[in-house]
Structure formats: C-alpha cells, structure tokens
Chain A
Amino acid sequence: MSFSGRRRAPVSALVAVLLVVATAVGAIVTLGSDATASRQLVPHSHPAIAIVSSPQLQTFETKIVAKADAKSHTRKPTLVLGTAKFTITVTNTNPVRLTSVTVTDRLSPGCNRNIGALAPGGSIGYSCSAANVGRNYTNTAIASGQWTKDARVLTAAQAATTARTTAKVRVKPKVRQRTRLPLFTG
C-alpha cells in the first residue's frame, strides 16, 4: 500500500505520538534507579541460568487406609495425604562459570539445593518431593547463581542471575469408597 501525499499527515502524527510514548516509557524505566548503572551489572542479554521443573501438572487423590491401633487392637480408617514429586534440572546456559548456584523452593522445602559451582553449559538434575500435600498449589523453584569475574564480560563486579520455574499440584479429595457397606439408618 502506497501513501498518497494527502495521507502523509497522519504518519507524521504517528511519529509525534511515538515520541510522546517513548518519553513516557523512558520515565518508568528510570524510576528509582540509574538505568546506566544497572546496565553495567548485566553482562549478557540472554539468560545465564535455566531451571526446569516437571511434571507441569500432577494430580492425586487423598488416600484412606486402615491403621492398626495397638491399644484397642482395632483398625481405624486414616486419611493419608499425597506426596508431590518433582524433577528439577538446572542448566548454566552461559559461556562463563557460575558459582554459589542454589535452588530455593519455599513451598516444597525438600527441593531446596545448594549446588555450588556449575561449569559453562553444565547441567544438574535431581528429584525431590513434598509430603502431606492436602490442597492445590503452584510450586515455584528459583535457581540463582553468581557470575565470576571474567575477561570476556564487560563487568568489574559480580552479578547475580536467577531463573524460576513453576509446576502445579492438584489434590482431589476422596469422597467415595467403593467397597465399604453403608451404615445409614435406611
């Protein structure tokens, strides 16, 4: 589509609007910090560390089991909550060595790990679990690491890098029992 001379005026208006927007956006970026200074702390634009958690969604039923009571010699039904299981993989996707690599998982403390150093391109995977899960939640694991000083990157200071992953856990209350006789009055 070619613009006729008569239609050039709206384009110039667009340029003017773009300038206004750019000014407004720039104002947000620089709020509360010095944009130039913070840019020096980020040596590369691509992510330096990656973390993957699987499965993305897991669903399980709560379980009711017969538990023996040693005192009364009877078996009583007991609710057993489920255990969510995760496989987490942390990868250093940057060509520089990472140190102090850790994985923090607030909702599933069993998934916390202190990995240490991770070579360029290196990857480490592990399995972990969260017991007694009674309700739905979205698990979030955050991997963090430190850049070491490197001649190839234009930074004099160490900078931290983080990545996060989420996985959903769904719990289905067991409200039906197929084998037990009903005890209703009838």
Chain B
Amino acid sequence: MIVSRPRNHPPRSRLTRFSCTVAVKGAALVLLLSASAAGVGAADAGGSGPPAAKKVFPYRYTLTDAKIGHWAAVLRSVVAHRQPKASSPAVTRLGVVTSEWTQNVVLVIGGIDVNPTQTWYDVRLPILPNNSIGWVPASALGDLYTVHTHLFVNRATFTATLKRDGRTIFTTRVGVGRSHWPTPAGQFYIRDKVTGFNDPFYGPIAFGTSARSAVMTDWPGGGFIGVHGTNEPQILPGAVSHGCIRMVNDAIIRLSQLMQVGTPLTVT
C-alpha cells in the first residue's frame, strides 16, 4: 500500500502546472494518508484494530431474482435433497447430460454456507411436478454464471417477452399448448440450446427448458417443453402446439442472439 500510493500522483507533465506550494502540500497529504494507512496495517497485524464483521453460519443468500439469475453446470451425478443436508430426503437425481446430449445445467436460486468450507445451492429442478426445487452440494456444480435476461411467456395473450435487467428488449407472438396438451405454468429456466439439427418442424434453433408436459410423459426424452421455431408460421399465434412454445423462425433467430442458456423462464 505504501509503495502504490505515489502512483496516484498526477503524471509529471501535469505536476508542472501546479505551483510548488500546491505540489508540496499534495505530497504531504498523500504521505500523511500513507502514514495513517500504515498505522492501520500495523494495528491489524497486532490484532488491536476494530473487529471485522464476522460471517455467521449458516449464511443464506439469494442468487436469482426478477432481474438477475445464476446458473451452473452439473459436473457429476448428484442427488437433490429437500434440505441442505445429506441426510434429508432425496427429491431426484440430477444427471450431467440432458436428453439432447447437452451439458445439464441448473438455475441456482440461492445458497447457504453451512460452514466456511461447505456450501449448498438451492436449484430449480427439471422434473415433474413442475416448479420443483432441491438442494445440492456446491461441489457437484461448476462455476456460477450470471445471466441478466428473463423470458416471460403469457399463454392468454400468446406473447413471449424477453427482459434484460427488467427492461423489455424483445417481444413476439407465440403458439402454446392446446387445452389437452397445455404448456405448464410456473417458474423454469432455459436448459440448453440445440442448433444444426435439420428438422424443419422445430425451425432453425430450439431451446430446451426445465418445464415438462404433465400429460405427455411418455414422449421421447421425457416430454420436455421447448422454445423453438416452426415450419407452420401461418397457424401462429394460438393454442396450437403439444406444449412447446413456438414462434416464427425470424423471431427464434433474433431471440437466440439475445438470450443465453440459464435464462429464467416464467410462464403465466
């Protein structure tokens, strides 16, 4: 700290513009600050400084709200528990790969530091019943990634709206599930992004979500709800799908440029 302080001085060329008195006063002020800072350091070293705010365990915190979300990759197969402890009942087992052969990720809603070395994360689970959550040890997940976008789908108005930091940046009309294959409502997240599959039914790009159809449970892959393009743009918007959220291909391409995997999804 003492060494770095002088770097805060104005460059030499600027220094010449000051009068000598001002320069000397400035130098004296900086040196006095250095001396006081050194004094604090000495006090800390001796343990006689002001007590630092201690973290009280267990320490809970929120990682996803209406504007910002956090997601993490599942690095090893892990059991999600009802409570942040290994002895609590299991909710499900999370795999490392999705049914589309992509890296499985989870939306991390919050966390709890049980002690200085053990952390558990509260994650949204891609299982039935929808809106399930569970606790997994942080050691089973990779690094946390921040996402500033949130996708909202309104089944009544057939609209999809993407917000970034609470501001609308994209909106389009969509098709949702028919009455007997409804798109489930609730809180979900974008789980993966699939491209280059050459199937016009899904359009050029398909996003997988953590939402699952409660009625099409025998669908290959488990009946996950997707957000994708279509080869039948003329029937949009409306209740036309098997549960997926369909939009015209131009819209899904634009959405893919704005939305990344891990984005929270709210279906109302």
A181 at the interface (CB under 8 A from B): yes
Determine whether the beta carbon of A79 is less than 8 Å from that of B75.
yes
Chain B residue nearest in CB terms to A22: B35
Chain B residue nearest in CB terms to A176: B193
CB proximity of A69 to chain B, nearest CB, Å: 14
Q: A1-B16, A21-B35, A175-B103 are in contact. Are A186 and B2 (CB under 8 A)?
A: no
Q: A11-B24, A185-B226 are in contact. Are A134 and B100 (CB under 8 A)?
A: no
B51 at the interface (CB under 8 A from A): no
Given the complex, which residues of B lie within 8 Å of A7, measured CB to CB? 20-21
CB proximity of B151 to chain A, nearest CB, Å: 15
Dominant SS among interface residues on chain B: mixed
B97 at the interface (CB under 8 A from A): yes
Stretch in A26-34, A41-49, A103-111, A139-147 with 4+ CB within 8 Å of B: A26-34
Given the complex, which residues of B lie within 8 Å of A1, measured CB to CB? 16, 20
A178 at the interface (CB under 8 A from B): yes
Most A C-beta atoms less than 10 A away, residue of B24, B192, B226: B24
Cβ-neighbour of A184 out of B38, B102, B103, B226 (below 8 A): B226
CB proximity of A83 to chain B, nearest CB, Å: 14
CB proximity of A20 to chain B, nearest CB, Å: 6
Given the complex, which residues of B lie within 8 Å of A173, measured CB to CB? 73, 103, 105, 142, 145
Determine whether the beta carbon of B225 is less than 8 Å from that of A175.
no
A167 at the interface (CB under 8 A from B): no
Extra pairs beyond A17-B31, A62-B73 (19, CB < 8 Å): A1-B16, A11-B24, A21-B38, A25-B38, A28-B38, A28-B42, A32-B45, A64-B102, A78-B96, A79-B75, A171-B143, A173-B105, A176-B102, A180-B197, A182-B100, A182-B202, A184-B208, A184-B224, A186-B202
